[in-house]
Amino acid sequence: DVKVTQSSRYLVKRTGEKVFLECVQDMDHENMFWYRQDPGLGLRLIYFSYDVKMKEKGDIPEGYSVSREKKERFSLILESASTNQTSMYLCASSPPDLLIFEKLFFGSGTQLSVL
Amino acid sequence: GIQVEQSPPDLILQEGANSTLRCNFSDSVNNLQWFHQNPWGQLINLFYIPSGTKQNGRLSATTVATERYSLLYISSSQTTDSGVYFCAVSSAGGTSYGKLTFGQGTILTVHP
């Protein structure tokens, strides 16, 4: 069965800390994504990656960076956490763009609180 | 970029009622998916439906691509249908890499 695993369900960090959110998928998917979800705003794309060591900015990349050293793992990094980065973070993966069966599979999310 | 609007923002039903959720989008799409987010936050893909009609049990979806909207029908609703329903699309033309733009969601509450 399809599985996208996020390392933490809940995280509490201090302002200014460096934060790592980890995501692993076991489906050999090329594409991986990081979204954040805020009430009333839906999901907004932060970064995505379509191959190892490749990354593209999404709609709201400011304050974030990513790393994809292996195909199965995609990390989101908050270089210096701020209170406005308190949010639910969702990782997702999908097969390559040209496949007919093009679905997005999500992890269960990380609720990050920055104090 | 492409805009996605969902309606209604909130919906409250009694168990057994039927409902229709709507998703309007501003441009041609090559990918449209409906998701359900349960109260624990897990997002589950319901339909991949860039055009046409699909059914899965009590749920069905129709996308009229030429008129830029999609509808999700829930029949005989159950309390387990509660949660947030999202529509997500990717714009036709170019390579999207499966990148989806989400609407704000419809919050559905089903009372017993």
Check residue A53 and give its pLDDT.
87
Give backbone dihedrals phi and psi of B88, rounded to 5 degrees, phi first: -140, 140
Distance from the Cα of A87 to chain B's closest Cα (Å) equals 12
Strands B52-56 and B4-7: unpaired
Considering only CB atoms, B104 lies closest to which of A42, A88, A109, namely A42
Whether the predicted pLDDT of A1 surpasses 80: no
Q: How far apart are CA A95 and CA A30, in angstroms?
A: 6
Contacts of residue A10 in chain B, CB cutoff 8 Å? none
Cα–Cα nearest to A57, from A24, A34, A90, A30: A34
- Measured between CA atoms, the residue of chain A closest to residue B10 is A40
Average confidence (pLDDT) over A100-114: 84
Calculated CA dihedral for residues B12, B74, B14, A108, nearest 10 degrees: -60
Mean pLDDT of chain A: 91
Q: How far apart are CA B85 and CA B13, in angstroms?
A: 14
Q: Chain B contact for A28, CB < 8 A?
A: no
Provide, rounded to the nearest whole percent, the portion of chain A with pLDDT above 70: 93
Instruction: Dump strand ranges (E) for chain B.
Output: 4-7, 10-14, 19-25, 29-37, 43-48, 52-56, 59-64, 69-74, 83-91, 101-102, 106-111
3-state secondary structure of A54: coil
Q: Chain B contact for A88, CB < 8 A?
A: yes
pLDDT interval class at A107 (50, 70, 90): very high
Check residue A71 and give its pLDDT.
94
Q: How far apart are CA A86 and CA A110, in angstroms?
A: 10
pLDDT tens, position by position, B3-60: 999 999 999 999 999 999 999 999 998 889 999 999 888 999 999 999 999 999 999 9
Give backbone dihedrals phi and psi of B66, rounded to 5 degrees, phi first: -65, -25
Contacts of residue A43 in chain B, CB cutoff 8 Å? 86, 88, 102
pLDDT interval class at A72 (50, 70, 90): very high
Considering only CB atoms, B42 lies closest to which of A43, A94, A108, namely A108
Q: Chain B contact for A35, CB < 8 A?
A: yes
Phi-psi region of A95 (alpha: psi -120 to 50; beta: other; left: phi over 0): beta
Work out the number of other CB atoms within 10 angstroms of the CB of residue B24. 15
Number of residues that this document lists for chain A = 115
In this structure, of A23-32, A89-98, A103-112, the range with the lowest mean pLDDT score is: A89-98
Check residue A95 and give its pLDDT.
80
Q: How far apart are CA A48 and CA B73, in angstroms?
A: 31
Check residue A18 and give its pLDDT.
97
